[in-house]
Amino acid sequence: MIIIEEILINSALKAIESLYGEKISPEKIQIQRTRKEFSGDYTLVVFPLLVASKKNPEQTGNEIGEFLKNDLNFISEYNIFKGFLNISFTEIFWIDILRGIIETNNFGFKKQDEKSKRIVVEYSSPNTNKPLHLGHIRNNFLGWSASEILKANGFDVIKVNLINDRGIHICKSMLAWEMFANGETPQIANMKGDHYVGNYYVMFDKEYKKEISELMNKGMSEKEAADNSELMKKAQNMLKKWERGNEKVREVWKMMNDWVYSGFDETYKSMGINFDKIYYESETYLKGKEIVMNGLLTGELKQKPDGTVYIDLTEYGMDEKVLLRADGTSVYMTQDLGTVVDRYNDYQFDETIYVVGNEQDYHFKVLSIVLDRLEYSWSNKLTHLSYGMVELPEGKMKSREGTVVDADDLIFEMIKTAKETAEELGKLEGFSEEEKNEIYRKIALGALKFFILKVDAKKNMTFNPKESIDFNGNTGPFVQYTYVRIKSILLKAKELGIVDYKEFHNTKQSEIENSLIKNIYLFAETIAEAGSKRNPAVIANYVYELAKEFNRFYHEMPILKEDDRNIKNFRISLADKTGIVIKDALSLLGIEVPERM
């Protein structure tokens, strides 16, 4: 497959040496796609080359442009604009590009080999005291998609989940269940296990706030009330019993966690999310404690008179970071140390990526520094893929107050909205109920994933369910419908007996056709860019533009009604390859496409 940038760079290097007797580094040659407001396909930035030419930008650009035109037979013309050399290619060249793409299996995807860099991606990381919610949805979609994009770039990717299955927040749910459930189970309550346990977490918070209010009414300050809360003391005592291995506490813990895991599995399945390995904090925190105690023995870590173990990070412009509490219980950093060391022992990764909200930026900087201070040679292989908050039009959500939007509820509402929208548009007449329901599911999940992933991960975003299912906007359903439109063209072509449409001769194509070929060609470059940036939004925005460009082509150029058989074959081939690229691009976002709609 032709790599246009490489050919232009090599020819430009020859031009500099031939015209000016200078050998320069390839990095000095800047090639970019020509901006839409200018004439041309690719642009060479002339300014860095003036040192070699010792001439003004226009003269240098003209000399290099003439050399490139003589050296590369596919350049039709060039123009200079303020130090930018805009280069146009022949129509035959773009036809050859299309043929090359058609003949390339898995166009844009790189193969993994024995030299492939190994990357472990951790995402999801739920707590077992509540169901997955809208924030988890962004985390899961981002982690899964980033993993698939990295695979498409030839990396060896392992997708992992770390279940936060221990700690004070888990004990709060457990305590509330012991106090108020009277032996009830999710089966008896006819509830999904994660929702059931989440209700008790909310119940604990309500009872705790009620107790604090009563203590403050007796004259205590808010801090004094918190220090004297019997409910919180019971939860903290339960945590200590858990860490000491108390059999009764452990039985309740295992039972309630199993309820939650069953619920999580259902949600992951409905979201199309999976993992290669699941880690549990209850198994890794002891390793973390061991690492911390070893660091204390070597003198890298310090201990306060009350028993608190910490690391002094003031030389890094940070503060003291606690690694073990005074009572010997671990903190998040403790278990993260244990987890990452276990993970490195499991996979010897070249990089591990944490998909976690941007409020944890500081945490992961500290984790890397602590590992370095404890002399782990791979401490610089940690990457934090941070993302912003997701809100609904109504505002923020709070787990403890029960105001979060559960992932299951949101998916259900999305499917309901997809059904209502499709019925209004009359798109599924003649389909069986089973077929309709499957299409509603694909539209709903496609809308949800696309709307979330098209936004740069680092930005906060507002998710609007109704807006996400618009068949005419920058949405998943619009792109999915474009794919279905292409499949309909191919089906009609088959019914007309047009099967060998990939056989076509050079033809004089229009600007619209050339533009569509160029957009298809950019798919490989887009995958590479999305991989280097770890950013699915690059793919989402690319495939939307491709779908828009195809619809312009579809509305302005006859395809099956074209009389010239050669041109008809060319246009069907162009439509076919567009559909393949749309499907492949959406697959990197975890979005399925209906074959008909």
Q: What is the CATH number of the domain that holds 516?
A: 1.10.730.10
Provide the sign of the torsion angle of the four alpha carbons 307, 311, 315, 316, taken in this order: negative
Same domain, 171 and 79: no
Q: Bridge partners of 378?
A: none
Contact 582, 546 (CB under 8 A): yes
**Position 113 in a domain:** no
**89, 113, 141 - which closes a domain:** 89
Label residue 509 exposed, middle or buried (CB < 10 Å: 0-12, 13-18, 19+).
Answer: buried
Same domain, 387 and 455: no
Same domain, 301 and 445: no
pLDDT at 396: 47
Report phi then psi at 186, rounded to 5.
-60, -35
Same domain, 366 and 441: no
Between CA 138 and CA 386 the distance in angstroms is 11
Q: What is the CATH number of the domain that holds 251?
A: 3.40.50.620
Same domain, 73 and 135: no
* Helix or strand run (H / E) with residue 516: helix 511-533
Contacts of 584 (CB under 8 A, 6+ apart): 106, 107, 108, 109, 523
Contact 143, 159 (CB under 8 A): yes
Q: How many CB atoms lie within 10 A of CB 204?
A: 25
Longest dimension (CA), the chain: 91
pLDDT at 212: 96
Between CA 109 and CA 105 the distance in angstroms is 9
**365, 391, 417 - which closes a domain:** 391
* Helix or strand run (H / E) with residue 114: none
Number of domains in the chain: 3
pLDDT at 472: 87
Same domain, 366 and 323: yes
Q: Bridge partners of 163?
A: 280
pLDDT digits (tens, 9 = 90+) for 226-245: 999 999 999 999 998 998 99
Same domain, 448 and 380: no
Between CA 225 and CA 222 the distance in angstroms is 5
Q: Which two tokens stand for residue 151?
A: 């695979």
Same domain, 362 and 426: no
**Position 472 in a domain:** yes
pLDDT at 404: 67
Same domain, 365 and 307: yes
**Position 593 in a domain:** no
**Position 400 in a domain:** no
Helix 536-556 vs helix 565-588: crossing angle, to nearest 10: 160
Note down the domain range covering 48. Answer: 4-89
Same domain, 379 and 415: no
Same domain, 368 and 435: no
**Position 596 in a domain:** no
**47, 67, 89 - which closes a domain:** 89
Q: What is the CATH number of the domain that holds 76?
A: 3.30.1360.70
**Position 431 in a domain:** yes
State which residues of the chain have pLDDT below 50: 396-402
**Position 109 in a domain:** no
* Helix or strand run (H / E) with residue 87: strand 84-89
Between CA 18 and CA 16 the distance in angstroms is 6
Q: Which two tokens stand for residue 359?
A: 């409020």
**Position 97 in a domain:** no
Between CA 324 and CA 307 the distance in angstroms is 8
Same domain, 339 and 431: no
Question: How much is the pTM?
Answer: 0.92
The one-letter amino acid at 210 = K
